[in-house]
Amino acid sequence: MTRSGIQVTHDIRDRFFALLESLSALRSLANLGQGVESEADLAYQALVQLVKHQNLAFCSIFFLEDDLLRCVAGTGFDEEHAKLSGQVQVSLAPDKSMHFSMDEGVIGLACQTGQLQYCRDCSTDERFKPFDYPAQQSVPGSLVVVPLQFGGEMMGVLNVSHPVPENFEPWQQHMLSLYGSVLAQMLHSYRLMNSLDTLVKQRTQQLQEALSESEAMREQYKRLSMIDGLTGLFNRRYFFPEAESQLSRSIRYEQPFSLLLLDIDFFKQINDRWGHQVGDNVLKSIASELQRISRQGDVVARLGGEEFIVVLPNTDIDGADQIAERIQAQVAQLEFEREGPKGITLCIGMTSLNDRSINHMELSRCVDILCKEADMAMYECKRRGRNQRLVFDENEICLLGSSIGP
């Protein structure tokens, strides 16, 4: 075979292997998969595969950000020396100051036109605008700039340079254009998935916030539904389940349990004489005193109208009478601005659990019986002339202590 024939054979062989390397680069790029952590990481991985399979001197990727093309990944002299030793290195954190506007140089032209730009000799091509290269780095001989665009979206450019002019043959340019197209599609897909993921996270967060707000509103409604709007005390809806809970605890630990039922004397006359606004103030003032006098663990509620009820856990009937006496004394001292009632009195019916057969009844039934007993004692107070406190007895209603006030 002649020398020229041998040379042609070698050229065909070299091009064949170059073609295989090009296909390997494309295949490696397409197989990057979903393991990338960011757009910059995808650019980094793309350059790794390109440098690995192609005999290229310098490569870089610029992303379009706010009308500026900024370098996000690239190779340099250190990487070139590493390649000579059989390694491949690509910088993921290049100099962020390296940027071009869309009307600068070959890079800007490729971005504006959306077409591959080829500088055969950068030293003579007027389109080429050199960056501030380090002293040891010479201006590239030839440069290929591939726009990264997909679906009408311009995302940036891929730059491939070589120190030798006229280095890139048409098939290499075509291969780089194809590589840029695949990379642009991957960037588009990544951004789409990332935007969808962001949207899902936003919607999920909004849903969680809506659910939290709904739960807060539900809890607020539940709380408000158990609070008396006028006095701020608990109402009947809260009182009876809570009284059952306290009673259950007292029975389980064999502790005393007492209950007070309070009614304001002559409350209708207060409303008739001074008006309902004054009557409301009286109710609120008595509620405030009950809250102040009550201990931790006591349950104070307004049953309705001028009636209040107090559960006294771990309190026998003597202790309940002392608390009732204190309540009567404090309420009698209440004063109101301008004209208003003075010396307000209460009738208080009292009862306690003791060791009776009701201990073995259902809790709700047991609470009902205790409330009825306190109610009977309270009405006996009314019958005896008001401003009284009486304790219910199974055999008879007996008076504990003496009445106070006029």
Return the sign of the alpha-carbon dihedral for residues 231, 234, 239, 242: negative
Distance CA 75, CA 44 (A): 10
State yes or no: pLDDT of 282 exceeds 90.
yes
Instruction: Out of 197, 228, 244, pick the residue that ends a domain.
Output: 197
Residue of 37, 244, 254, 306 marked catalytic:
306
Residues 161 and 244 in one domain: no
Question: E strands of 265-388, at which residues?
Answer: 299-304, 307-313, 346-352
Tell me, what's the pLDDT at 359?
A: 63
Residues 360 and 270 in one domain: yes
Residues 159 and 262 in one domain: no
| Residue 327 forms part of a structural domain | yes
Tell me, what's the pLDDT at 18?
A: 53
Residues 19 and 84 in one domain: yes
Looking at per-residue pLDDT, the higher value among 24 and 341 belongs to: 341
State yes or no: pLDDT of 65 exceeds 70.
yes
pTM (2 decimals)?
0.51
- The band of 244, judged by pLDDT with boundaries at 50, 70 and 90, is very high
Indicate the pairing of strand 398-399 with strand 346-352. unpaired
- Is the Cβ–Cβ distance between 143 and 122 less than 8 Å? yes
| Residue 180 forms part of a structural domain | yes
CATH code at 8?
A: 3.30.450.40
pLDDT in tens, 167-198: 888 888 888 888 888 888 888 888 888 777 77
Residues 166 and 297 in one domain: no
Domain, as residue range, for 344: 236-399
Tell me, what's the pLDDT at 285?
A: 94
Residues 245 and 394 in one domain: yes
State yes or no: pLDDT of 10 exceeds 50.
no
Residues 31 and 161 in one domain: yes
State yes or no: pLDDT of 260 exceeds 70.
yes
| Residue 34 forms part of a structural domain | yes
| Residue 360 forms part of a structural domain | yes
Instruction: Out of 133, 167, 197, pick the residue that ends a domain.
Output: 197
- Is the Cβ–Cβ distance between 122 and 140 less than 8 Å? yes
State yes or no: pLDDT of 382 exceeds 80.
yes
Residues 300 and 167 in one domain: no
State yes or no: pLDDT of 406 exceeds 50.
no
Annotated active-site residue 306? The verdict is: yes
**Tokens at 284, concatenated:** 């609120």
Tell me, what's the pLDDT at 383?
A: 92
Alpha-carbon distances, residue 80 vs 52, 56, 83, 106 (angstroms):
12, 9, 5, 23
The number of folded domains in the chain is: 2
Instruction: Out of 168, 197, 226, pick the residue that ends a domain.
Output: 197
Residues 249 and 193 in one domain: no
Distance CA 297, CA 312 (A): 8
Tell me, what's the pLDDT at 268?
A: 93
Q: What is the mean pLDDT of the chain?
A: 80
| Residue 207 forms part of a structural domain | no
Residues 139 and 240 in one domain: no
| Residue 117 forms part of a structural domain | yes
Kindly state the average pLDDT of the residues 38-55: 77
| Residue 183 forms part of a structural domain | yes
State yes or no: pLDDT of 377 exceeds 90.
yes
Tell me, what's the pLDDT at 132?
A: 55
Indicate the pairing of strand 58-65 with strand 68-74. antiparallel
State yes or no: pLDDT of 111 exceeds 60.
yes
